[in-house]
Chains A and B, each alone.
Chain A
Amino acid sequence: MPLIRALIFLAALIGSPAYADRAALSSALCAGSVVEQVTALRALAEAGAAGGADEATWALAVVDAVEARSLRCTPTGAFIGEGPDALDAATLAPAPAPVDAVAMPINNRLRAAAASAAAALTLFSDADPTARAKAAAALERRREALSLPILDAALAQETDAAVLAVLQPLRARMMLADPDPDNRIRAIEAIAAEATLRNRTLIEEALTDEPEPSVQAAGAAAIAQIDRQVAIGQGLSTLYSGLSYASVLLLAALGLAIIFGLMGVINLAQGEFIMIGAYAAWFVQNAIRAVMPGLIDWYLIVALPVSFLAAALVGVVMEALVLRRLYDRPLMTLLATWAVSLLLINLVRVTIGTQNLEFHQPFYVVGGIPVVGDFIVTLNRLFAIAIAALAFVGVVLVLRFTTFGLNMRAVAQNRAMAGAAGIDARRTDRMAIALGSGLAGLAGVALAPLYNVNPNMGTGFIVDSFMVVVLGGVGSLAGAVLASFGIGQINVIMEPLYGAVAAKVVVLLLVIAFIQRRPEGLFAPKGRR
């Protein structure tokens, strides 16, 4: 063996420097022990990292050959492939392999090291950023052939943010095992910059057999910092999910409050109007998929007016057939609207089925923006919040600046006087029902990307939205907003602590206690009762 090495060395001296290196590097793979072979693979990866794209491409070809079990060893050098079609491993030029060439033996450990080396080399040889990102992810799992020089070279030449986002923490993790304590401290600080529970465990594990007190102190500080950020993140994400729940509640409750404020009718079918809105969105999705598959991503936007109109239509039909006859008997409207909700649930159940509908998730409701700790501003919730905010602004504008809004306020304050002033109160009622039902339809669209859509989905919302109406007072938009945010937040804050039931119990008790003092709600219109 020493003789062969000497010969190779000699050959390297004679040939051109690059090829000579390549010959040495590839022949080293034919060394006897697995340890030596792994070292050879790492050397190949390092050479590729240091030598630029060309060198990396060559090294990758050799490593691939190792992985594919096509590397053949001879005393004079390595070949890729067998017999006359073989290539010289050092030059990749066609060179018939000698008959005495033996296949390089490969085991699991070597295969892992080869995969690792291939991933590392891809970072330098592949122009496609997604391929590099994939390689970086593979490298994160398989670090057999990875070394600091490789990572530093990769970080120095990498331009893609996604790949950098994998490589930078990877480097910090490698530094955790660095012999120099200062480097370890720097690594801990770099890891703690991203406050996730995973990084916390990472630091904890590194500290278990850490002899240096200064590193221990830095680690403890880093863990405390992560804990703080995680706590802030958890608090924020609780508030955030409360906000998104509140916006759906607000949409449902706004509609309820408008109808109740105007006509004294409580619409027990409001939850089912949410369901109709969600089903309309589903139909829009299917229609777009059938007619213009290219625009499928925009179906949620198209669904906004469609769902509004679908729910509004059902509301108007309900008004025309049933509610119109019940205006002087508000308690009976409870039974009537309940019957409508039962009818709607069962109609949908029979015609479409009870299963949860499947919704395509367009890019603008997928994923989220990480903010702090584990808190991610998820886009599907942001979508719901945006719809609620837009709808609320729309309702305010309609009430303040349109004739219809003026008529509605007039009828709500004094129906007879409004009639005497020439306002068609019945027509106003109809339009208010359409508006109130349509808002529930919008809630259905908001829920489609983040909730199970099935015939029973509305029943869970009805109690909470009534609590909003009771607490917020009737005919007061500010009250509805405040109450839905209060109830939404109480729900999500209580849930992780004491369970969903406790949250509902607390909300209910609060509401009951509250109406002791103010039976007409938070922002009751002033006047005699």
Chain B
Amino acid sequence: MMGGGMLFRIVAFALAVLTLALPILGGPLAGSGIGISPYLANIIGQIATFALLAIALDLIWGFAGVLSLGHGLFFALGGYLIAMHMLKDGYVNAGVVPDLMTFMGWTDLPGYWAFFESFPYAAALILILPGLLAFAYGWMSFRSRVSGVYFAIITQALTYVAMLLMFRNDTGFGGNNGMTGFVSLLGLQMGAPQTAVWLATASTAATLVAFLLCGRLVRSPYGRMLIAVRDDEARLRFLGYDPVWPKLAAWTLSGVIAAIAGALYVPQVGIINPRLLSPEVSIEIAVWVALGGRGTLSGAVIGAVVISALKFWLTGFAPDLWPFILSLLVLLVVVGLPNGLTDLRLPFWRRARDDR
């Protein structure tokens, strides 16, 4: 296994260093020569949530062989739930009337917004709702052996329908304007420099935890079972194993991790709208994983970091160029590097790949 993989350790180490260094570099050292600006901290934090999202997808695609083209759905679900918490909190505690109420001419928020001012309630929902959604859909699909391309396409359709639903203004989720104008989260004032640093730290920490946890998981006997499902599900069935439950567990866990990533992402960008549910976003997640190399967790993290850093950098001065670069990059990787960057046979990568 890749347990002893050098690359795995390097990525874990980098994440740990980042988690420890961010509060110092962005806190006491901010403004000095080696300190980082809140803007940079914010970018690092966003990229960390993408890495977390990529880990979620790699768990299910790289290890169980189930491609989801709808992980944006879970990501956005987490994002919407945390946005609802922040808006309700601002409404109840700071008296800021959410835009969506003004827009729809409502005097109060709809009933399903109840209790959202409580963070524990919202946090619980962020874990439970995506989990339930993933479980229900996974149970229906895996039980009737819907797999491969069929499964991928239906996840995409599901996300597409969710996008259409969220674009409606009367659903009470902000419609096409989405939700914005957040005041604070857990006492942290939005827009304050320290908030950006803390949110970024939380994101790298969460990514580190998920990375280690998933690494542990795929090395366990359960992980071997997952890999067996990926490599030959029919044979596993003939050997007397039921592949439904391992797949379902990984799928549900993956959905929950994606939702946590979304809940960390939205406070950092300060807005959520249905465009997060567009098919492009979901496919881009798969591109990160494919580029970094499936089934190596570290590859997912590296793919997400490389592509999203490239995107941040490029969209700054040549936004029109990005779709071309992205599509050519995908074609290049898909055709030329079937296992992503792992195929480049760089010194560190080679070990990881041989381990697999």
Interface residue ranges, A against B (CB under 8 Å):
260, 264, 266, 321-322, 325-326, 329-332, 334-336, 338-340, 342-343, 345-346, 350, 459, 463, 466-467, 470, 499-501, 504-505, 508, 511-512, 515-517, 519, 529
Contact call A529/B145, Cβ cutoff below 8 A: yes
Q: Which B46-60 residues have a C-beta within 8 angstroms of A?
A: none
Chain A residues with Cβ under 8 A from B143's Cβ?
A: 516
Q: Tell me the smallest distance from the CB of B101 to a CB of chain A, in Å.
A: 22
Contact call A338/B283, Cβ cutoff below 8 A: yes
Contact call B149/A266, Cβ cutoff below 8 A: yes
Given A334-B152, A470-B150, A511-B154, A516 and B324 contact (CB-CB distance below 8 Å): no
Centre residue among A334, A336, A508, A515 by max chain B CB count within 10 A: A334
Q: CA–CA, A152 to B92, complex, Å? A: 76
Q: CA–CA, A346 to B322, complex, Å? A: 10
Given A322-B335, A508-B161, A346 and B324 contact (CB-CB distance below 8 Å): yes
Q: CA–CA, A150 to B324, complex, Å? A: 71
Q: CA–CA, A345 to B37, complex, Å? A: 37
Contact call B327/A343, Cβ cutoff below 8 A: yes
Contact call B149/A340, Cβ cutoff below 8 A: no
Q: How many A-B residue pairs have CB under 8 A?
A: 116
Interface 0/1 of B153-196, CB less than 8 Å to A: 11011101100110110000000000000000000000000000
Contact call A516/B140, Cβ cutoff below 8 A: yes
In the complex, given contacts A326-B334, A334-B286, A346-B323, what are 15 additional A-B residue pairs having Cβ atoms less than 8 angstroms apart?
A: A264-B149, A322-B335, A331-B67, A335-B283, A339-B328, A339-B334, A340-B331, A342-B330, A459-B279, A463-B157, A470-B153, A501-B164, A501-B165, A516-B143, A519-B145
Centre residue among B69, B286, B330 by max chain A CB count within 10 A: B330
Q: CA–CA, A288 to B86, complex, Å? A: 59
Centre residue among A330, A466, A499, A500 by max chain B CB count within 10 A: A466
Given A325-B335, A466-B153, A343 and B328 contact (CB-CB distance below 8 Å): yes
Contact call B164/A508, Cβ cutoff below 8 A: no
Q: CA–CA, A266 to B227, complex, Å? A: 25
Q: Which B121-146 residues have a C-beta within 8 angstroms of A?
A: 137, 140-141, 143-146
Contact call B327/A335, Cβ cutoff below 8 A: no
Contact call A335/B165, Cβ cutoff below 8 A: no
Q: CA–CA, A321 to B327, complex, Å? A: 14
Contact call B148/A331, Cβ cutoff below 8 A: yes
Closest to A266 in B: B149
Given A332-B334, A512-B140, A339 and B165 contact (CB-CB distance below 8 Å): no
Q: Tell me the smallest distance from the CB of B238 to a CB of chain A, in Å.
A: 13
Contact call B158/A508, Cβ cutoff below 8 A: yes
Contact call B149/A330, Cβ cutoff below 8 A: yes
Given A322-B331, A335-B334, A342 and B323 contact (CB-CB distance below 8 Å): yes
Does residue B280 face the partner (Cβ distance < 8 Å to A)? yes
Q: Tell me the smallest distance from the CB of A315 to a CB of chain B, in Å.
A: 15
Interface 0/1 of B240-284, CB less than 8 Å to A: 000000000000000000000000000000000000000110010
Contact call A515/B168, Cβ cutoff below 8 A: no
Contact call B331/A339, Cβ cutoff below 8 A: yes
Chain B residues with Cβ under 8 A from A501's Cβ?
A: 161, 164-165, 167-168
Q: CA–CA, A499 to B169, complex, Å? A: 12
Q: Tell me the smallest distance from the CB of B233 to a CB of chain A, in Å.
A: 11
Closest to A264 in B: B149
Contact call B154/A336, Cβ cutoff below 8 A: no
Give the number of chain B interface residues (Cβ < 8 Å): 42
Q: CA–CA, A206 to B275, complex, Å? A: 53
Contact call B335/A336, Cβ cutoff below 8 A: yes
Contact call B150/A519, Cβ cutoff below 8 A: yes
Contact call B286/A335, Cβ cutoff below 8 A: yes
Contact call A350/B320, Cβ cutoff below 8 A: yes
Contact call A334/B69, Cβ cutoff below 8 A: yes
Contact call A339/B327, Cβ cutoff below 8 A: yes
Listed by A's residue number, 10 A-B pairs whose Cβ atoms lie within 8 Å are: A260-B149, A322-B334, A326-B334, A335-B287, A343-B331, A470-B153, A504-B164, A505-B161, A515-B144, A515-B150
Q: Tell me the smallest distance from the CB of B72 to a CB of chain A, in Å.
A: 13
Q: Which B305-324 residues have a C-beta within 8 angstroms of A?
A: 320, 323-324
Sorted from nearest, which 5 A-B pairs have the closest CB atoms?
A339-B330, A343-B327, A339-B327, A342-B327, A346-B323
Q: CA–CA, A329 to B67, complex, Å? A: 12
Contact call A519/B161, Cβ cutoff below 8 A: no
Chain A residues with Cβ under 8 A from B141's Cβ?
A: 512, 515
Chain A residues with Cβ under 8 A from B110's Cβ?
A: none
Given A338-B283, A499-B168, A508-B161, A329 and B338 contact (CB-CB distance below 8 Å): yes
Q: Tell me the smallest distance from the CB of A262 to a CB of chain B, in Å.
A: 14
Does residue B218 face the partner (Cβ distance < 8 Å to A)? no
Q: Tell me the smallest distance from the CB of B342 to a CB of chain A, in Å.
A: 14
Does residue B73 face the partner (Cβ distance < 8 Å to A)? no
Q: CA–CA, A266 to B69, complex, Å? A: 13
Q: CA–CA, A511 to B61, complex, Å? A: 23
Q: CA–CA, A336 to B290, complex, Å? A: 11
Q: Tell me the smallest distance from the CB of A407 to a CB of chain B, in Å.
A: 23
Q: CA–CA, A331 to B153, complex, Å? A: 10
Does residue B326 face the partner (Cβ distance < 8 Å to A)? yes
Q: Tell me the smallest distance from the CB of A503 to a CB of chain B, in Å.
A: 9
Chain A residues with Cβ under 8 A from B287's Cβ?
A: 335
Q: CA–CA, A504 to B335, complex, Å? A: 34
Q: Which of A340, A505, A516, A529 contacts B327 (CB 8 A)?
A: A340
Q: CA–CA, A311 to B336, complex, Å? A: 25
Contact call B280/A342, Cβ cutoff below 8 A: yes
Contact call A470/B330, Cβ cutoff below 8 A: no
Chain A residues with Cβ under 8 A from B279's Cβ?
A: 459
Contact call A505/B165, Cβ cutoff below 8 A: yes
Closest to A342 in B: B327
Q: Tell me the smallest distance from the CB of B303 to a CB of chain A, in Å.
A: 12
Chain B residues with Cβ under 8 A from A340's Cβ?
A: 327, 331
Chain B residues with Cβ under 8 A from A512's Cβ?
A: 137, 140-141, 154
Q: Tell me the smallest distance from the CB of B171 to a CB of chain A, in Å.
A: 9
Contact call B334/A331, Cβ cutoff below 8 A: no
Chain A residues with Cβ under 8 A from B157's Cβ?
A: 463, 466-467, 508, 511
